[in-house]
Structure 1
Amino acid sequence: MEPFTVFRGQGMSKTNFDRMVKTQGGLLSFNNFVSTSTQRQVSLNFARETMESSDLVGILFVMKIDPSIASIPFADVRDVSYFKGEQRILFSMHAIFRIGPMIQIDGNNRLWQADLTLTGDNDPDLRALNEQTRKNTYPHLQGWDRLGKILTKLEQLNKAQDVYDILLDQASTDREKSLIYHMLGMVKRGQGKYADAVAYYQQSIELKQKTLSPSDPNLAASYNNIGLVYDKMGDYSNALLSHQKALEICQKDLPSNNPNLVTIYNNIGSVYNKIGDYPNALSSQQQALKIREQTLSSNHPDLATSYSNIGSVYHNMGDYSNALPIHQKALEIRLKILPSNHPDLATSYNNIASVYNKMGDCSNALSSHQKALEIRQKILPANHADLATSYNNIGSAHASMGDYANALLLLTTTWV
């Protein structure tokens, strides 16, 4: 069968359209059956009508199909189609296409053509994506255990709870029950039911203390997770005790630069920061940074995270001369490795602006806040709270510089 071209007209939300524009050259998946036509004008008319009758962007997909490499089933359904006399090709679910050039139609910024090419299993990007997906879906687990983990990761928490309730009824050993209680604690934490989460984690810890060695990392994981729940509840005393217990367990067998210690040091530092114990917060974050510097490349994003955490502690201490270069170091790494519209860049610019503001350098504060706003305008919906925060920050900077007209305009925008 020779290669052929089919067409599909549809509407797309502005958010999804903008996302597709930014990923030209990448992959696009249709997670349902895809009905297409061999007639371009029919599909274009549908896209145009959708655009005119709604606030959606009209899209005409021009889809190039090479049957010799395609891995998704498709069929000619003209004999059973609702649209009589029109040849229609139906593609199975999860068809994946590579996004090609996108152009406006008739100069209309709400009507676009997007070229797509159906991929095959040998596409290198698709292979890499499938491999990463496999790694992220717990290939070492099987059956209901794996399903429960995947549902938890997808935040399908009610379904995950149903799975773990069944597994708990079937569990025959304390070891099995301890692992299920731990997962139920994670589910309840995700649901915001913190008292229930604490109860499940405590049951897990009690059983693990009976069945595991005092230095087992699974025991440390339960202490660490219950600490996160106490933190959510504002019970910082118990949160700190739990994280310190997790650290104590891990330090028994792990070398001092083991990456698993980083998360615990970060959690301890976060609690100290919240209770205003900044020297201990700084010490814990510096311990995390020390390990990352020994085990990660110089441009690793986790290094930027550590620098950002330390900069925030210095800021809270009022030590702005140390906060500024640390935040700038985080930004330097992020500029090298992240796309220009990544939200972490906006966070770095915002952190730097806050320090400049405290130092009385309104001009540099304004410049950094504006860079944060530019990024947020590209990636966030118009009513997002972070956009309001940026407008407020810029308005305040204008006011500090005596530019009250622009300050009023920006501060008014905050409430639009």
Structure 2
Amino acid sequence: MLDPIAEARRRLGLARRFYDEGRAGDAVAVAETALAVVEQAGGPNHPAIAGACVELSLLHERLSQFQKAEKYARRSIVITEEYSRNDETLVRLRVKALGCLALVERVYNRFGAAEVLYRSALDLAENGTWPQPQELAELMCGLGAVYLFSSRFGEAETLYREALTLVGADHPGAAVVWHHMAELDLMLSRFITGESYARRALALRERQYGEYHPTVANARAMLAAVLARQGNLEMSEKLYRKAISTFERVLPEHHYDLAVACADFGMLMAAKGNMAAAGRLAQRALDIKRRILGRNHPEVIQAIEDLAQYN
């Protein structure tokens, strides 16, 4: 009979494969069965439970189910706190759990808490012998995003460039860094370099995932946003339509990335004089953000203000 912990690991690997294939619902279902297996085999605080919780947190975050992502991340943090810091497998799990919770805190605009969590994760990771450059780069980009949305642009850019040096400019893992650098340059109106960074992120993600993957669609939406600000409205519209079509096909109906794309596409439609389309897109963005972020979130308030401009 297969060892229960080994069986749980097999199921978590299957869940990751399902997500990469665009089968997000199946991925969550399989990951939940993995958690049930280790809970039954090892008790409530077995370290393997922390691993299953991390995977479930990541999956729920990718599906914009942030409350569930937070629940699983916190459970993993509590479990890994109980075990020796000399066990690098558990330290690695703790780093991932801290990163998961930091991302949720960032989404909810709790930037102080997010910064503390990201720094804790980086401190643990940098003291270990196990981290892959891509893992560190993703944590650095997460902290950089906290700085970005706190208007600490210089600190964000420094982290992004350090992350790029760490992972290598042409490595598939560099896509996340190029994406964040494009977002920074978009916010700072540096559109020439922003376009270059967005194109590099899109090329790397297409090479890794193919044409119809939510990560690829997200990269298309970023490039569309940069091109729109440069006045290339026709190409931007094509990219937005393709990105939104992909999101609708592979993501849940209420997803953060879809809301962002709809809001930005609405601004483009308004710039082209199609106020009716702009209003429909803005309403859709508002409905999604209100559902997943709550009525009092700053992005929901901004979405209400955006919609008012088109009516």
Q: Same fold (TM over 0.5)?
A: yes
Higher RCO (C-alpha 8 Å, min separation 6): 2
| 3-state secondary structure, aligned to 1:207 | coil
Which of 74, 77, 87 is the equivalent residue of 1:198? 74
Percent identity, please: 13
Deviation at 1:144, TM superposition (A): 0.7
Q: 1:377 to 1:274 in 2, by over 3 A?
A: same
Of the three residues 239, 243, 246, the one matched with 2:114 is 239
Structure-2 residue corresponding to 1:186: 54
The alignment's C-alpha RMSD in Å is: 4.0
- 1:25-36 maps to which residues of 2 (within 5 A)? none
Q: Does 1:149 align with 2:43?
A: no
- Structure 1 contact 369–393 (Cα < 8 Å) conserved: no
The alignment of Structure 1 onto Structure 2 pairs a total of residues equal to: 254
In the superposition, relative to structure 1, how do residues 346 and 368 fare at CA in structure 2: closer, same or farther (>3 Å)? farther
Which amino acid in structure 2 is aligned with residue 155 of structure 1?
V
1:287 equivalent to 2:158? Answer no
Higher alpha-carbon Rg? 1
Q: How does 1:238-257 map to 2 (within 5 A)?
A: 238-254=113-129
Secondary structure in structure 2 of the residue aligned to 1:155: helix
Indicate yes or no: 2:184 matched with 1:313. yes
1:310-349 equivalence runs, <5 A? 310-334=181-205, 339-341=210-212, 343-349=214-220
- The 8 Å contact of residues 218 and 243 in structure 2, kept in 1 or not, is answered as no
Pair 1:272–1:151, CA change in 2 (3 A): farther
Describe how 1:340-359 pairs up with structure 2 within 5 A: 340-341=211-212, 343-358=214-229
What is the rounded CA distance, in whole Å, between the counterparts of 1:340 and 1:193 in structure 2? 27
Q: Structure 1 residues 367 and 221, CA, compared in 2 at 3 Å: closer, same or farther?
A: same
Alignment of 1:9-408 (within 5 A): 143-152=3-12, 153=15, 154-156=27-29, 157-169=31-43, 179-183=47-51, 185-186=53-54, 189=57, 190=60, 192=68, 194-195=70-71, 197-209=73-85, 212=86, 216=88, 218-233=90-105, 234=108, 235-254=110-129, 258-293=133-168, 298=170, 300-334=171-205, 339-341=210-212, 343-358=214-229, 361-362=230-231, 364-374=232-242, 376-377=244-245, 380-381=248-249, 393=264, 396-401=267-272, 404=273, 407-408=274-275
SS of match in other structure, 2:28: coil
Calculate the TM-score normalised by the size of structure 2: 0.63
Structure 1 residues without counterparts, runs of 5 or longer: 1-141, 172-176
Mapped contact 2:137–2:163 kept (Cα < 8 A): yes
Task: Provide Cα deviations, 1:283-323, integer angstroms capped at 9, x if missing partner.
Answer: 222222112217xxx3x433333211211122234433432
Structure 2 unaligned segments of length 5 or more: list them. 16-26, 61-66, 285-311
Q: Which position in structure 2 is the counterpart of 1:410?
A: 277
Q: TM-score, normalised by structure 1?
A: 0.49
Deviates more, 1:346-355 or 1:252-261: 252-261
